[in-house]
A and B are shown apart, each in its own frame.
Chain A
């Protein structure tokens, strides 16, 4: 991490990226604020709280307990149950060794990454590699990925295995949860591919078929399904290249800009004004700072959501849209068509109501 970005964070230790934050980042690639804050490892929940706009991103203990219980059940007895569902799903030999690279901790990062490289470098290494530590270049920054996956190696190919505790009922699951899991798995698959390429292997050895292990129907029995994440992979690669180089963005920021959560709230808000946000209602469920950005975006058409903004002719503010509808503002050339439609709509509403 560059000194410039470290300076932005102040004295606190950096927050690390994980597949979820990268997925969110690529979900809204135009948001400079998020890119800079994440790259600098700023504690966004703390920051939001400091400036008086706390988000609600708590997770229920019950959900965590079930997730952990399910994972532990799968990995018990040298992954007996996990091997069983993988064998049933992929029709591959799963009798190889299981290697757990250890729990998530800051001081073992480098060691774990080194061990991951070693294991992956040997073509005939362990079959199941738990908690491998991967890296990914995001917006000019090399980030460690918080490991929450198993890489399954068989016949020279690697599969990403994601364990999720949501249920697949009669072959159907909550589509939002499945697509979130698919994007996360794609982040891991991409990181694995980059690592293999660095090691001089063919990145295509990492399969685009990831395995999702969920619970079946209303029981805790596991069921594995294969997800093709080619689409997510290509989206991810495109978005990652589109992310502007954060280092250069950070370098352009004035000297006094800092997101050190120890600073008074007024200073933090002033600092935030230097990095532009691109708020959309979807941010509310993915970004801890969203409540503040929504407050800031009050009166903009973007705050009403993309479909509304588009239907209002893509103008920036609600006031502008209403002025066009009332005919009190002169539309620019490209607004002419939208303005005519808005005026007709306003006329109809006035006529009927």
Chain B
């Protein structure tokens, strides 16, 4: 926890209301998202009990499993969910746009939009991942045949769950994390995990403090858990009597589950409203472009009859994936800081970024020590903030992202620090800098060690050349499941 966020939490306690920790929205909010609230049967291995889903706030669809322990009931639920989700994810393939690749030597096409799923919490994401795992390998023929939509649903759910691991992706979002990215409540992060309590702090009802609202939200009678786990009292006193008969009353079950899910459904849309009120960060659209790329790629993979995602990645695939995730996390952290002064403030506090005034500037300095002369202006920046950079480090500034500033010297003078910098890039191709491209004396400048520079992908061997140290080449995909799972829970 950074000092800045911790301070915001302390301020929230005293203010009785959550405090902002971001000035812009750091995620894409789709105009037509699919909200999905899954409930699981307690004790079972990810057996669905119910789900409330839809793209229309006023018309939620409720799916109910009358007997979650019954295999055919579970797959009937999967087929129903597929009927709802697959048409939604397919509805963004109408238009494509051309994107230049390889420095304009080639083009590829991607869809102009992509789907976006919202679940209440990380538990919801895990539920979707496991439900995807339990459905994507199902056979559509033979003794335990399921409708073709079931394995397709599984592959889509796995796609979304994998996307959710990528920092900055907005394909599958969870409300608790999305809110926690923008507000600090006056309670612990363990308590924040409850969506109703967190929203209580962010927008308490009139006349109540955040603490009071959060306390109220802990009453499962008023605010049932946002899933996938259910309230044990509800299980024991409402659900169990209804389910203990051989032929459960589906109408009655639907009614009680509707009542359990509806409060969370409302909270989900309130979350979306709150986030929409924030202006989007400048780099959010760029990340959504990457999401559209990922989506387009997966649609193509399905269209070409590609295999389902493996149970576990092979060594090469896992290494490549880890590399992509690390790159995405780094890029996301930098972009958030560049988009949002409040996030950048975290780096200013630790000395990885500082704001100072330009006191000297030699814009026409030429370095002619090399083969040909190059433009290398120097500026002096004076700051009162903590500076933790060494000579030789390269800094950049969100004001001029294409320009690099090499630290020549760092000198502490009284309470201030003088930093001498040599600039390169972003000044045009001539030996005279373009107007405005070199900071002028008197300009207030933010400099940071964070860099938006392109990070190359890693070099990994082909999967069939996996070295023996990493288990050797992976075994080819086989579509049938092991016998133990065919038998399943009855």
Interface residues of A (CB under 8 A from B): 56, 58-67, 165-167, 169-171, 215-221, 281-282, 284-285, 298-299, 301, 303-305, 307-308, 310-312, 318-319, 321-322, 325, 341-342, 344-346, 348-349, 352-353
* Contact between chains at B349 and A311 (CB < 8 Å): no
Distance in Å: Cβ of B373 to nearest Cβ of chain A = 41
Q: Report chain B residues within 8 Å CB of A215.
A: 45
Q: List 21 A-B contacts (CB under 8 A).
A: A56-B231, A58-B233, A63-B232, A165-B43, A167-B46, A169-B45, A170-B312, A219-B488, A298-B211, A307-B6, A307-B189, A311-B3, A321-B10, A322-B11, A344-B386, A345-B3, A345-B345, A345-B349, A349-B4, A349-B8, A352-B23
Q: Is B146 close to A, CB under 8 A?
A: no
Q: Report chain A residues within 8 Å CB of B186.
A: 304
* Contact between chains at A58 and B14 (CB < 8 Å): no
* Contact between chains at A218 and B488 (CB < 8 Å): yes
The 6 tightest CB contacts between A and B, nearest first, are: A63-B43, A311-B6, A60-B42, A167-B45, A58-B232, A281-B188
* Contact between chains at A341 and B3 (CB < 8 Å): yes
* Contact between chains at A56 and B236 (CB < 8 Å): no
Indicate whether A281 sits within 8 Å of B9 (C-beta atoms), given known contacts A66-B44, A218-B485, A348-B4.
no
* Interface of B, helix, strand, loop or mixed by DSSP: helix
Distance in Å: Cβ of B53 to nearest Cβ of chain A = 22
* Interface of A, helix, strand, loop or mixed by DSSP: helix
C-alpha spacing A171/B162, complex, angstroms? 18
* Contact between chains at B485 and A219 (CB < 8 Å): yes
Distance in Å: Cβ of B356 to nearest Cβ of chain A = 14
* Contact between chains at A61 and B349 (CB < 8 Å): no
* Contact between chains at A218 and B46 (CB < 8 Å): yes
* Contact between chains at B4 and A345 (CB < 8 Å): yes
Q: Report chain B residues within 8 Å CB of A319.
A: 14
Q: Is B134 close to A, CB under 8 A?
A: yes
Indicate whether A59 sits within 8 Å of B188 (C-beta atoms), given known contacts A67-B43, A169-B130, A220-B489.
no
Distance in Å: Cβ of B44 to nearest Cβ of chain A = 6
Q: Report chain A residues within 8 Å CB of B130.
A: 169
How many residues on B have C-beta within 8 angstroms of the other chain's C-beta atoms? 55
* Contact between chains at B133 and A169 (CB < 8 Å): yes
C-alpha spacing A325/B8, complex, angstroms? 11
C-alpha spacing A304/B47, complex, angstroms? 34
* Contact between chains at A301 and B23 (CB < 8 Å): no
* Contact between chains at A348 and B187 (CB < 8 Å): no
Interface residues of B (CB under 8 A from A): 1-11, 13-14, 20, 23, 41-47, 130, 133-134, 186-191, 211, 220, 230-233, 235-236, 239-240, 311-312, 341-342, 345, 348-349, 385-386, 484-485, 487-489
Distance in Å: Cβ of B229 to nearest Cβ of chain A = 9
Distance in Å: Cβ of B11 to nearest Cβ of chain A = 7
* Contact between chains at B188 and A311 (CB < 8 Å): no
* Contact between chains at B489 and A312 (CB < 8 Å): no
Max chain B CB contacts within 10 Å: which of A218, A281, A301, A342? A218
* Contact between chains at B10 and A62 (CB < 8 Å): no
* Contact between chains at B345 and A322 (CB < 8 Å): no
Distance in Å: Cβ of B488 to nearest Cβ of chain A = 5
* Contact between chains at B311 and A341 (CB < 8 Å): no
Measured CB to CB, the nearest residue on chain A to B131 is A218
Distance in Å: Cβ of B312 to nearest Cβ of chain A = 6
Distance in Å: Cβ of A295 to nearest Cβ of chain B = 9
Measured CB to CB, the nearest residue on chain A to B312 is A170
Q: Report chain A residues within 8 Å CB of B312.
A: 170-171
* Contact between chains at B342 and A353 (CB < 8 Å): yes
Measured CB to CB, the nearest residue on chain A to B240 is A61
Question: 7 extra interchain contacts, Cβ-Cβ under 8 A, other than A169-B130, A219-B45, A348-B4?
Answer: A62-B43, A170-B133, A219-B484, A299-B13, A318-B13, A325-B10, A345-B3
